[in-house]
Amino acid sequence: QVQLVQSGAEVKKPGASVKVSCKASGYTFTGYYMHWVRQAPGQGLEWMGWINPNSGGTNYAQKFQGRVTMTRDTSISTAYMELSRLRSDDTAVYYCARAKGGSGSYVPLFDYWGQGTLVTVSS
């Protein structure tokens, strides 16, 4: 069965960086785009961008351009999201989410989600 397992909670100081991992299993990792979505405490869902695990190509939301980097390691079926220059309003649960389409479709329709990683930014 498809599973996305994310790394554990992080506490960071303002200005630091955080790198969250998302290990995929149960399907061909390179066949499905991976997106990242975050959710601030008690708030809604905010899309951050995607990575094509096959090519490594990325597309980031304008809001995060220059601060976010999405990468992957196909040898261990793992996607990563690194966010730099953290601020207090980056405190959120970060999710990886698989794009449903497969066959190289980036369409942001999400059929499987990781369990979420809480990133707390506090001095």
Partner 1 sequence: DIVMTQSPDSLAVSLGERATINCKSSQSVLYSSNNKNYLAWYQQKPGQPPKLLIYWASTRESGVPDRFSGSGSGTDFTLTISSLQAEDVAVYYCQQYYSTPPIFGPGTKVDIK
Stretch that binds partner 1, among 15-23, 68-76, 80-88, 104-112 (CB under 8 A): 104-112
The DSSP line for 92-113 is EEEEEEEETT-TT-----EEEE
How far, in whole angstroms, is CA 31 from its chain's centroid? 17
Cβ–Cβ under 8 Å, residues 80 and 23: no
Nearer to partner 1, 8 or 75 (CB): 8
Q: Is 110 in the site for partner 1 (CB under 8 A)?
A: yes
Residues numbered 53-92 forming contacts with partner 1, rule: CB under 8 A? 59, 61-62
Q: How far is CA 87 from CA 17, 45, 67, 83, in A?
A: 10, 18, 11, 10
Which window, 24-32, 66-74, 78-86, 105-113, contacts partner 1 (CB under 8 A)?
Answer: 105-113
Which residues contact partner 1 by CB under 8 A?
44-47, 59, 61-62, 95, 97, 100, 107-111, 113-116
